[in-house]
Amino acid sequence: MSSVLRPLPIGNAGGSIINLREHNLSRMLAALVSSGPLSRAELASRCGLGVSALTKLIVELRERDLVVEAAEIAPPGMGRPISPIKLAGHRWALVGLMLDRRSIGMSVGMLDGTVISFEELPVPETTGIEAYLPYLEAALERAAGRCHGDGRRILAVELGIAGAADSGAGEVVRSIVNGWSRFPLRDAVRGMLSALPRGVAGSFLVRMDRETNYAMLARLHRPGAADQGRTAAYLGGRYAVSGGIFSRSMVEHGFSGLAGEFGHVVVDPSGRQCWCGRRGCVETRLGLAGLYERCSNREGYGNLATLAAERARMIEELLNLADEGDPRVLAELDDAGQWLGITVDTVAAVLNPQDFIVDGYIARLGRYVERPARRQLDSIGALPSISALRFRFEDGSEQPLHRGMLLAAAQAIAAEPSVATA
């Protein structure tokens, strides 16, 4: 797969009735995941279905416990009350696991991406993926037990990776912070789920992606919005610069799942050497480690494991020093903002996005880097790719990452509704 939500095949002559039915069920679920509850008329219009066909498909989705009819509501103005169709929440559960070096962030939620519970499970310092797997298996068992206790069964699991991941192949390409490379993680997790007792997990979907893509998905998900199909660029990361690309209602992954790694776009060929081995990457100008070392006159934060563990303290220290008016910190943050503007201009010239979202630790520093970034963009003149760009900062919170995993799981079910059996 090349995206979080795979393009759905259009039924054509020669296709089976079963395939056409599953295709239409998929379109209906995708509309509900994207927009939230819809009336029958709205759902029929969005999916291009007649009322009779829609009614039969709703019955099938209800039999699979994927949708329910909400309580009647009165529409604005005159008209009969309607009972919107919405995603069900009583039988199936979604699980998101963010796999960090020293912890596993476990979120459990419903088909609409709502987070029911979140728990951070500690992991002792390990070396290599093989030593990590028993803790991952224990987290899956814990999630399954929690779901079973609530009367739900796991239907989809998403795995968030700090680093490079090939979502189509289900493989960790490289996670420097975790010390992993070239490991078929998706197949390993499928094996763990298959070993769970019957009644806890049945048929299920397992997928994985870079953590930044999940955070982007959550930031862009706005039920009922008219521009769900817009193109957006995302610049985030919890402690190192990363990014993502969203186009045609999908996360774009590229050939091997690494599209959107804006942190390693070279913007200053004669600049500093990056930890990736190249020189002048965006990371060398905007990376938290470099910013902190230059502002604090301390070294040793280029190690990603140390950086991941210390990020919250480092960000707070930078903000405190800036708030106190430390001239060196203010100058460094102003310079970082200028390079952020250069990065936005570079990415926008290539992708021509409608939205450019800044998130993660860079957004946490937003009150000091946003103004110089906008000043840089204003100083170089507006290309057509920039003139209509909606450039905005989020709050930098890490919570959207977990909701994004559940939204991706919901989109996976919409793409393959046959995973839920009546």
| Torsion angle (degrees, nearest 10) of CA 257, 259, 264, 270 | 130
Band the pLDDT of 8: cuts 50, 70, 90: very low
pLDDT, average across residues 15-32: 87
Cα-only R_g, the chain:
23
Average pLDDT, the chain: 89
Please say if the pLDDT value at position 227 is more than 70. no
CA distance 311 to 219: 21
Question: Given this model, what pLDDT does residue 127 score?
Answer: 72
- Tens digits of residue pLDDT in 141-182: 999 999 989 999 999 999 999 999 999 999 999 998 899 999
CA distance 85 to 103: 38
Whether residue 208 contacts residue 329, with contact meaning beta carbons closer than 8 Å, is answered with: no
Q: Where are the alpha helices (DSSP H) in 201-326?
A: 211-220, 282-286, 288-296, 304-323
Question: Given this model, what pLDDT does residue 322 score?
Answer: 98
Band the pLDDT of 73: cuts 50, 70, 90: low
Most confident of 9-13, 185-189, 295-299: 185-189
Residues listed for the chain: 422
**What is the CB neighbour count within 10 angstroms for residue 138?**
14
Most confident of 1-5, 48-52, 188-192, 255-259: 188-192
Whether residue 262 contacts residue 282, with contact meaning beta carbons closer than 8 Å, is answered with: yes
- Tens digits of residue pLDDT in 344-384: 999 999 999 999 999 999 999 999 999 999 999 998 876 77
Band the pLDDT of 223: cuts 50, 70, 90: confident
- Tens digits of residue pLDDT in 285-339: 999 999 999 999 888 777 888 888 899 999 999 999 999 999 999 999 999 999 9
Angle between helices 17-35 and 399-415 (to 10 degrees): 160
Does this model's pTM top 0.85? My answer is: yes
CA distance 232 to 340: 16
CA distance 395 to 365: 9
Band the pLDDT of 3: cuts 50, 70, 90: very low
Three-state helix/strand/coil letters over 19-54: HHHHHHHHHHHHHHHHHCCECHHHHHHHHCCCHHHH
